[in-house]
């Protein structure tokens, strides 16, 4: 299962979330949760063509069970950010 989403959340906040998870391990190119690989790609953009806004592309790729479990935690943590 692969989930790729562009979130209106700074990469540092997302990175801190994954580091704080006791069952998530840092890898050379992101994180792992069970057999799910997690990558963060920072991107910048403009809001209403005027204000710089940091965004992060979050890619989770792995078995459906692992991916769904870590995605649910991530989603609940950042739901109020508006994705």
pTM of this structure = 0.87
Cβ 6 vs Cβ 75: under 8 Å: no
Longest dimension (CA), the chain: 41
Cβ 33 vs Cβ 23: under 8 Å: yes
Per-residue pLDDT of the chain (83 residues; tens, 9 = 90+): 999 999 989 999 999 999 999 999 999 899 999 999 999 999 977 666 677 778 999 999 999 999 999 999 999 999 875 54
Cβ 77 vs Cβ 16: under 8 Å: no
Cβ 11 vs Cβ 53: under 8 Å: no
Cβ 39 vs Cβ 7: under 8 Å: no
């Amino acid at each position: 299962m692969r989930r790729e989403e562009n979130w209106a959340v700074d990469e540092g906040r997302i990175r801190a979330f994954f580091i704080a998870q006791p069952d998530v391990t840092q890898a050379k190119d992101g994180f792992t949760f069970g057999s799910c690989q997690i990558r963060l790609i920072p991107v910048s953009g403009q809001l209403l063509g005027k204000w710089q806004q940091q965004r992060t592309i979050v890619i989770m790729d792995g078995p459906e069970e692992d991916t769904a479990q870590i995605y649910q935690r991530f989603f609940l943590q950042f739901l109020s950010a508006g994705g």
